[in-house]
Amino acid sequence: MKFESQVVHVGDRKRERMTAIPSTTPIHLATTYFYDTAEQLDRIFGHEEEGPSYSRYENPTNSALEELTTVLENGHGSLATCSGMTALQLAFQAALIDKPHSIVSSSSIYGATIKLLDQVMEPFDVNVKYVDICDLAAAEKAIATEKPGCVFLESISNPILRVADIPKIAALSKAAGASLVVDSTFACPMLMRPLDMGANIVVHSATKYLSGHGDVLGGIIVSDAEHHENVRMLSRIAGGTLGPFESYLTMRGIKTLALRYERQCQNARKLAECLRSHAAVERVYYCADPNHPDAATIKELFAPNLYGAILAFEIKDADKAAVLRFMTRLKMVVPGTSLGDVHTLLLYPAMASHRDVAPKMRERMGIRENLVRVAVGIEAVEDIYADLDAALRTP
């Protein structure tokens, strides 16, 4: 099946132990499961037979979602977690089992991920080295020097939209014996599938494009065969799994992912073109820009005619106070700290996603005080632009 059909059908209509088959996966709220014989339950606990026993290990609603995300990312297996950050932490831990406790990470990443690496991983003796992952020479040198157990990058960086050459980084990682972990939240599997490019683990914040409606907090880890059991083992011990109701909502959201994401990408491209000529806008960051520093990589890795649904722009001569006034003037665009919803969201990185990153480090990352990020929704693009335009023009 093609992607547009997979998002609608995979994971649903399971026939096991049912006389009537529900057209969509039900919400299984039970924490505990038993079987006709204790011998079968013993086989379930011993992983000799598939089936749920306790919801921290497996839940039928979660399993349906995990089957779906595994297919969409062309992986070996998935785990649904209670947040994207939980997914990242489990992914890092799974990648480092029986490997050097060292991570080479892209320096252009989400602020909370920097905190996870610096304040959670490093205190447990995990060395973290940051590098410009789009500079292949610098990345190769860092990987060769650090000899890490894990290499980490974002498929599209947050918030200035740099795109690394994943196949080449994957080859460098493999040669060094390191696992490549990719946070692909900004891309979603409709735009690219990092596992097909050589990555070992792909992470999503299910809160974003997968669920798509601003009503789910969750994460997804999709792994290759080498890492999947490590991911499941860690979750069986530590928990952090997604609740069945959130799994149901995420699965329901994914059914319209192909339609939503295509519309969002179209809107983002048109909006970027309009903002480039706006008198109050200094610079626009968007992956369709022919002058994008990673234009060649984008052409090679992205699905045809899709460039993502996120853009960022700098407001001319604006300081923090001016940006906050601009945000307050918005009428339809939501000034909120998320992305991927059906409605357009505008985020101020210096206030939200990268608030705890030191100002000098933000500057080195290219995040200036006048930068805002727009996660474009499915509204009429004329209305999105009109709202931004009015807020930019008002003194």
- pLDDT value at residue 3: 87
CA 266 distance to own-chain centroid:
20
- State the pLDDT at residue 12: 76
Pairing of strands 310-315, 371-375: antiparallel
What is residue 364's predicted lDDT score, i.e. its pLDDT? 87
How far is Cα 354 from Cα 197, in angstroms, rounded to an integer?
29
Give the DSSP letter string of 15-36: -TT-SS--SS------SB---S
* DSSP letter assigned to residue 372: E
Rounded to a whole number of angstroms, the CA Rg of the chain reads: 21
Instruction: Return all residues near 84 (Cβ < 8 A) that are at least 6 apart.
Output: 183, 185, 203, 204, 205, 206, 207, 208, 218, 219
Q: What is the pLDDT of residue 17?
A: 57
Per-residue pLDDT 10s for the chain (395 aa) are 888 889 888 887 765 555 678 888 899 998 999 899 999 999 999 989 989 999 999 999 999 999 999 999 999 999 999 999 999 999 999 999 999 999 999 999 999 999 999 999 999 999 999 999 999 999 999 999 999 999 999 999 999 999 999 999 999 999 999 999 999 999 999 999 999 999 999 999 999 999 999 999 999 999 999 999 999 999 999 999 999 999 999 999 999 999 999 999 999 999 999 999 999 999 999 999 999 999 999 999 999 999 999 999 999 999 999 999 999 999 999 999 899 999 999 999 999 889 988 888 888 888 999 999 999 999 999 999 999 999 999 77
The confidence score (pLDDT) of residue 250 equals: 98
Answer for the pair 285, 133: CB distance below 8 angstroms, yes or no: no
How far is 114 from 203, CA to CA, in rounded Å?
15
Q: Which H/E stretch holds residue 152?
A: strand 150-154
Burial class (CB in 10 A: 0-12, 13-18, 19+), 137: exposed
CA nearest to 94, candidates 205, 251, 194, 236: 236
Neighbours of 295 (CB within 10 A): 14
235 to 46, 241, 247: CA distances (angstroms)? 16, 7, 16
The structure tokens 């014989």 sit at 37
Q: Which domains occur in the chain, in start order?
A: 3-254 (3.40.640.10), 260-393 (3.90.1150.10)
Please state, in angstroms and rounded to a whole number, the distance separating the CA atoms of residues 35 and 23. 25
Helix (H, G, I), strand (E, B) or coil at 229: helix
Cα–Cα distances (Å) from 178 to 113, 156, 344, in that order, read 19, 21, 38
pTM: 0.94
- In this structure, which amino acid lies at residue 239? G
d(CA 146, CA 138): 12
From residue 204, give the alpha-carbon distance in Å to each of 31, 111, 144, 155, 219: 25, 16, 28, 11, 6
Closest to 297 (Cα-Cα) out of 197, 395, 369, 213: 197
Instruction: Give the tens place of pLDDT for each residue, 76-108.
Output: 999 999 999 999 999 999 999 999 999 999 999
Contact 388, 272 (CB under 8 A): no
| Residue 151, strand partner residues | 104, 180
For strand 102-106 and strand 127-131, is the pairing parallel, antiparallel, or unpaired? parallel
Q: Which residues are catalytic?
A: 56, 110, 183, 208
d(CA 158, CA 322): 22
- Over residues 204-250, the pLDDT tens digits come to 999 999 999 999 999 999 999 999 999 999 999 999 999 999 999 99
